[in-house]
Structure 1
Amino acid sequence: MKIPEKIKEFIEKRIELENFCLPHFYPEIDSFEAFQVGYKIHGNTGEKITGEDQGDFRESWFVICSGYSNDPFFIDIHEENENFPVYFAWHGAGSWNPIKVSNSIHEFSNQLEWLKEIESMDENIQKRIKDKMDLSNKFWAEVYSEYEECEDE
């Protein structure tokens, strides 16, 4: 697969964050397909494990990074005209239930860069997240909670 330039640029930034929910692992550009193992390809047999039923990982989805628990952040290759919205799903839930976390790959990159910046500051991360992010989104609510737990420790 030829990786679209927008996706390459995002991957090459490798924005790693301390929050358990946020990206920590990124594919190498020259082994992008190998990064799909466990999501699109069975790790032991090499068989495709995608499908079109509710809860299946779709053939058109590509994992662009993952969190500490290998929870994937992915794009749908068919949504290039929409600037690749970014989705997230919890790994190991028995089925894939995507949550749209950003309207575009560019927006997601900006969100991660902003979070990286505030992680390095010694101030109330939760307040800043609450003011800027949509906490009605299950994913961003989880990110908020994870920062709250880290501050409590």
Structure 2
Amino acid sequence: MEIPDEIKEFIAKKITLENFCLPHFYPEPDTLNDFQIGYKIHGNTGEKITGENAGDFRESWYVICSGYSNDPFFIDMNEKNENFPVYFAWHGAGSWHPIKVSKTISEFGNQLEILKKIELSDKNVQDKIKEKFDLNNEFWLEVYNEYEEYEDE
């Protein structure tokens, strides 16, 4: 599979953050298929574990990075015309329930860069998140709440 340039560019930046919910692990662009183990491919048998039923990981989804607990951030290759919206799902729940976290992969990269700057320079991380992120989105609310734990320490 040829990896689209916007995905290669996102992966190459490898923006990691302190927040438990946010990306910590990235594939190398030439190992994107190997990075799908545990999501699309069974780790021991090598069998495909995708499906079309509710809660299944779809064949067209590709994990582009993952959080500290290997919770995946992924795109749907069928959404190239929409510039690859980014989704998140909690790992280990027995089924996958995607949450759309960004309208495009470039927007997601920008959001991570904003958070990186906030983490490095601002003591009031939560106030800045309230200003810049939609806390009606359950993922961004979880990110917000996770930063509260950091501020309490």
* TM-score normalised over the length of structure 2: 0.99
Partner of 1:46: 46
Cα distance in 2 for partners of 1:123, 1:18 equals 14
The aligned runs of 1:22-41 (5 Å cut-off) are 22-41=22-41
Partner of 2:95: 95
Q: Deviations over 1:58-116 (max 9, x none)?
A: 00000000000000000000000000000000000110000000000010000000000
Partner of 2:74: 74
Matched, 1:55 2:55: yes
Q: Deviations over 1:38-74 (max 9, x none)?
A: 0000000000000000000000000000000000000
Q: Which amino acid aligns with 2:141?
A: A
SS at 1:92 equivalent: coil
Partner of 1:144: 144
Cα distance in 2 for partners of 1:16, 1:129 equals 17
Partner of 2:114: 114
Partner of 1:126: 126
Greater Cα offset, 38-47 or 113-122: 113-122
Q: Which amino acid aligns with 1:141?
A: L
Percent sequence identity over aligned pairs: 75
Cα distance in 1 for partners of 2:8, 2:33 equals 13
Cα distance in 1 for partners of 2:33, 2:86 equals 18
Cα distance in 2 for partners of 1:23, 1:122 equals 20
Pairwise CA distance, 1:122? 3.4
Cα distance in 1 for partners of 2:6, 2:136 equals 28
Alpha-carbon RMSD across the aligned residues, in angstroms, is 0.5
* TM-score normalised over the length of structure 1: 0.99
SS at 2:79 equivalent: helix
Cα distance in 1 for partners of 2:32, 2:107 equals 22
Cα distance in 1 for partners of 2:57, 2:51 equals 6
Q: Which runs of 4+ in 1 moved over 4 A?
A: none
Q: Deviations over 1:100-153 (max 9, x none)?
A: 000000100000000000000132000010111110101000000000011111
Q: Which amino acid aligns with 1:48?
A: K
Unaligned runs of 5+ in 2: none
SS at 2:27 equivalent: coil
